[in-house]
Amino acid sequence: MTNSDRVNFGSRIGVILASAGSAVGLGNIWRFPYEAGQHGGAAFILIYLLCVLFMGMPVMISEFLIGRRSRANTAGAYRILAPGTPWRWVGFLGVLTGFLILSYYSVVAGWTLEFIVEAGTNSFAGKTAPDFSASFASFLQKPVLPVIWTACFLLLTHFVVVRGVKKGIERSSKLMMPLLFILVIVLAVCSVSLPGSEKGLLFLFRPDFSKVTSDVVLGAMGQAFYSLSLGMGCLCTYASYFSRDTNLAKTAGSVGVIDTCVAVLAGIIIFPAAFSVGISPDAGPELIFITLPNVFQQAFAGVPVLSYIFSLMFYILLALAALTSTISIHEVVTAYLHEEFHLSRTRAATLVTAGCLLLGAACSLSMGVWSDFTIAGMNLFNLFDFTTTKIMLPLGGMLICLFTGWYLDRRLVYAEVSNEGSLKVRFFRAYIFLVRYVAPIAIAGVFLKEWGLF
């Protein structure tokens, strides 16, 4: 396939919704609240915002310009822009990271389907806190059911990706994202209106810097990359379908704002509801699968129908958010196989789905029957989460900055960000300064500190 045969997204809103769909996901609604909950709420959020601004935004613009300039999958992009150099490894690293993330992400995404069914069949009714924790533990111990849900989620993703960029990715984002925004806002309003919710808001917005350690900073940085889908060529792949007149910086700004708003709104859904029934929000990854169903039950104890609707809407929201993200990760690997190995799109997607299903099944079992098998003290699921989020994504982000800041010709970078000079780019010098120095040094600093070398 030549580069000019490639399909583009059909509209500006399609570009924004697809990219925001990639960014908004379990990272915002599952990961962000428990990371914030464990790391002191507002102080974590503040550091997170700084990471988004000074590392996330420059990396996103860089991914956009690499993708649109090369009009290729992420591995192909480096081959085209830096032929014959080791930079191509950055592309491969991205594809590998995508493959690993998709494998364990689909497991959690699969749980959301189980919870939609449980919420829909009203099986949360009458349960108490220990019941929720016992029933989630017994669900994870089952060898087959969680794997089936993982497979279902991967198949849903597969069918969208196979339909292609315009009919699959763009159309599904245009359908799902508005629904997602409505659900987030309705749920946040309901949560804030509960009696006693102020404590949750205070937790979310009043910083306690005594909890800030280097671990918190690493966590916030990893979370920023993860939540914005950066560091593995995901937005680079999407940008290869942008048209020549897409304003890259503006699109990056919109995606950053949407993603951050949804994360904060997820906090506004979860913390006020949790505090209103006196439950601590620092439960960790199981927060939304054990703590929350219980919170929803108690918060609307007088009106069971409200508990029912609230829970069902919440898990539908979670599944939608996860789906728009799995689609984008799947696309990275599919586009790579499709373009680099000249496989048909369907065949490429099938390989990705099958491979992720195998690894995903292993991750799923590692939370239950295989939990005794650990590497460096972590089961497979946690190992994948840790290595991808805390190492591979920030490392990928740093390399992407070095590539645009130091390797690419400055005129090429300017031409791409300014749409060949047709846009005024007032922030260009600041951008170059950030990608050359600030972002790579900050990422390296956090790494060194974390590994005890600094």
Structure tokens at 149: 């849900």
Instruction: Give the Cα separation of 262 and 211 in Å (integer).
Output: 24
Instruction: Give the Cα separation of 117 and 429 in Å (integer).
Output: 52
Spatial contact of 196 and 275, defined as CB atoms under 8 Å apart: yes
- Residue 220 CB, shortest distance to ligand PHE, in Å, is 14
Four-residue CA torsion sign, 263, 246, 340, 337: positive
Count of all residues that appear for the chain in the document: 454
- How remote is the C-alpha of 429 from its chain's centroid? 29
Question: Which residues contact ligand PHE (rule: CB under 6 A)?
Answer: 22-23, 25-28, 101, 226-227, 229, 232, 234, 325, 328-329
Of 236 and 425, which CB lies nearer to ligand PHE in the complex structure? 236
DSSP SS3 for 378: strand
Instruction: Give the Cα separation of 311 and 292 in Å (integer).
Output: 9
Of 19 and 307, which CB lies nearer to ligand PHE in the complex structure? 19
3-state helix, strand, coil in the chain (%, to 5): 75, 0, 25
Of 191 and 325, which CB lies nearer to ligand PHE in the complex structure? 325
- Residue 313 CB, shortest distance to ligand PHE, in Å, is 19
- Residue 255 CB, shortest distance to ligand PHE, in Å, is 10
DSSP SS3 for 375: strand
- How remote is the C-alpha of 284 from its chain's centroid? 17
Rounded to 5°, angle at Cα 300 from 299 and 306: 135
Of 26 and 380, which CB lies nearer to ligand PHE in the complex structure? 26
- Residue 293 CB, shortest distance to ligand PHE, in Å, is 21
- Residue 406 CB, shortest distance to ligand PHE, in Å, is 24
Of 247 and 325, which CB lies nearer to ligand PHE in the complex structure? 325
Spatial contact of 205 and 42, defined as CB atoms under 8 Å apart: yes
- Residue 229 CB, shortest distance to ligand PHE, in Å, is 3
Of 114 and 385, which CB lies nearer to ligand PHE in the complex structure? 385
- Residue 100 CB, shortest distance to ligand PHE, in Å, is 10
- Say how many C-beta atoms besides its own lie within 10 A of residue 286's C-beta: 16
- The amino acid at residue 141 is Q
Instruction: Give the Cα separation of 341 and 355 in Å (integer).
Output: 16
Of 53 and 279, which CB lies nearer to ligand PHE in the complex structure? 53
- Residue 320 CB, shortest distance to ligand PHE, in Å, is 12
Of 154 and 234, which CB lies nearer to ligand PHE in the complex structure? 234
Instruction: Give the Cα separation of 292 and 304 in Å (integer).
Output: 15
Of 18 and 190, which CB lies nearer to ligand PHE in the complex structure? 18
- Residue 429 CB, shortest distance to ligand PHE, in Å, is 29
427 DSSP assignment: T
Of 70 and 227, which CB lies nearer to ligand PHE in the complex structure? 227
Four-residue CA torsion sign, 98, 103, 108, 111: positive
At a CB cut-off of 8 Å and minimum separation 6, what does 270 contact? 33, 191, 200, 281, 287, 288, 292, 295
- Residue 393 CB, shortest distance to ligand PHE, in Å, is 7
CA distances for 32 relative to 39, 144, 295, angstroms: 10, 29, 18
16: left (phi over 0), alpha (psi -120 to 50) or beta: alpha
